[in-house]
């Protein structure tokens, strides 16, 4: 990117990329991280670490957008914004990032 100032558009694009990276890590899909550490795939803790790295990237860019008063929240659902603002990658984040339909079927009530 040369010596141009960092713009809102640039950071929002980076945020969008970080969100995709995190979501791919959640789904255990291939990410750039797999290419950097191919030997890690053999270790059980790899997927946790991969998710942690992607979450950290997402929080860092969202934090920069927040500090610069850029409207980063439009990229996320309300629930996802809440997760990012809490900053903790809990089991709730891992289980419910993709807002699933939690309603019980009428036959199961």
Q: Per the domain annotation, does 103 fall within a domain? A: no
Q: Per the domain annotation, does 104 fall within a domain? A: no
DSSP 65: H
Task: For residue 64, give Cα distances in angstroms to 2, 11, 57, 69, 75.
Answer: 20, 8, 11, 9, 15
Place of tokens 């969202």: 62
pLDDT tens digits for range 29-71: 888 877 877 777 777 788 888 899 999 999 999 999 999 999 9
Place of tokens 């550490």: 37
CA distance 76 to 58: 12
Domain range spanning residue 84?
Answer: 8-89
Yes or no: say if 48 and 1 are a contact pair by the CB < 8 Å rule: no
Give pTM, 2 decimals.
0.82
Which pLDDT value is given to residue 104?
A: 45
Which pLDDT value is given to residue 109?
A: 36
Query: Domain count of the chain?
Result: 1
Q: Tell me, rounded to whole angstroms, the distance of Cα 89 from its chain centroid.
A: 10
Percent residues over pLDDT 70 in the chain: 90
pLDDT tens digits for range 62-77: 999 999 999 999 999 9
């Amino acid at each position: 990117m040369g010596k141009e100032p960092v713009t809102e558009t640039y950071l929002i694009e980076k945020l969008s990329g970080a969100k995709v990276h995190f979501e791919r890590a959640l789904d255990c899909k291939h990410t750039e991280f797999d290419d950097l550490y191919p030997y890690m795939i053999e270790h059980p803790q790899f997927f946790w670490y991969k998710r942690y790295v992607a979450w950290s990237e997402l929080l860092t860019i969202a934090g920069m957008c927040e500090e610069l008063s850029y409207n980063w929240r439009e990229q996320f659902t309300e629930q996802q914004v809440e997760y990012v603002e809490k900053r903790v990658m809990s089991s709730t984040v891992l289980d419910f990032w993709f807002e699933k339909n939690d309603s019980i079927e009428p036959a199961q009530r």
